[in-house]
């Protein structure tokens, strides 16, 4: 079974992006084992402590290093990724550089019309940088942009319920699982 570390770009209770992560954990339980990698407790990246970082950083990096792949699910903040997610990625880009060659799948949810397109375009650029060099599926057909969240998530179960979106994600996850093996 593939072990996938999940990074969520939103810290808020009730986050749609966390709801998507929970949906994907449950729906694909036979395809992968999703393990949440907490980014809330990471300190701000500081080059002075990168060689001897606090335990939270070391545990976070170890979790990502030992995973077969990474799933990043993020909102868009001001047309980019939230700072808290960028901070986590900056930690991962240094010292052991644990993302080099690692299969990464990205996804995002927005209540608006654009479904995090701009944030994920930025994220793809970040993930290609020299300290990261993650392995991504080609964008065509594999971009999970979820717009108009209020219409697609059930506010009682807090899960994605829009059938056509779920069927699309089914296909992307199948391709990613094959890609990451």
* 77 is an interface residue for ligand FNR by CB under 6 A: yes
84 close to 39: Cβ distance less than 8 angstroms = yes
Question: For residues 49 and 114, which CB has a smaller minimum distance to ligand FNR in the complex?
Answer: 114
Nearest-10 Cα torsion for 114, 19, 88, 145? -20
- 131 is a site residue for ligand FNR (CB under 6 A): no
Contacts of 62 (CB under 8 A, 6+ apart): none
User: Of 7, 70, 76, 104, which one interacts with ligand FNR (CB under 6 A)?
Assistant: 76
CB-nearer residue toward ligand FNR: 60 or 145 = 145
**Of residues 61, 73, 92, 69, the one with CA closest to residue 11:** 73
Q: Which listed residue (16, 91, 145, 176) binds ligand FNR by CB under 6 A?
A: 16
Q: Using an 8 Å Cβ cutoff, are 123 and 74 in contact?
A: yes
Three-class SS state of 160: strand
Number of residues that bind ligand FNR (CB under 6 A): 14
Question: Segment near ligand FNR (CB under 6 A), from 43-51, 52-60, 71-79, 128-136?
Answer: 71-79
Candidate list 10, 23, 120, 142; residue touching ligand FNR; CB under 6 A: 10
114 scored as a contact of ligand FNR (CB under 6 A): yes
Instruction: Output the smallest distance, CB 111 to ligand FNR, in A.
Output: 5
Q: Is 43 an interacting residue with respect to ligand FNR (CB under 6 A)? A: no
- Beta-bridge mates of residue 6: 36, 71
In whole angstroms, give the CA distance from residue 39 to residue 87. Answer: 9
Distant-in-sequence, close-in-space partners of 59: CB < 8 Å, separation ≥ 6: none
Interface with ligand FNR by CB under 6 A: which range of 32-40, 59-67, 106-114, 130-138? 106-114
């Amino acid at each position: 079974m593939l072990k996938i570390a999940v990074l969520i770009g939103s810290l808020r209770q009730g986050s749609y992006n966390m709801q998507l992560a929970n949906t994907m954990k449950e729906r694909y339980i036979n395809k992968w084992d999703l393990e949440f990698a907490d980014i809330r407790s990471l300190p701000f990246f500081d080059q002075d402590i990168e060689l001897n970082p606090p335990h939270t950083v070391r545990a976070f990096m170890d979790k990502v290093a030992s995973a077969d792949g990474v799933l990043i699910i993020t909102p868009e903040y001001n047309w980019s990724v939230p700072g808290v997610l960028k901070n986590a990625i900056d930690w991962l880009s240094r010292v052991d550089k644990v993302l080099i060659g690692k299969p990464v799948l990205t996804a995002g949810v927005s209540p608006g019309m654009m479904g995090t397109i701009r944030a994920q375009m930025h994220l793809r650029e970040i993930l290609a940088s020299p300290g990261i060099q993650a392995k991504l599926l080609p964008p065509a057909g594999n971009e999970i942009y979820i717009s108009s969240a209020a219409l697609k998530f059930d506010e009682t179960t807090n899960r994605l319920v829009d059938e056509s979106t779920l069927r699309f994600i089914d296909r992307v996850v199948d391709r990613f699982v094959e890609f990451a093996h």
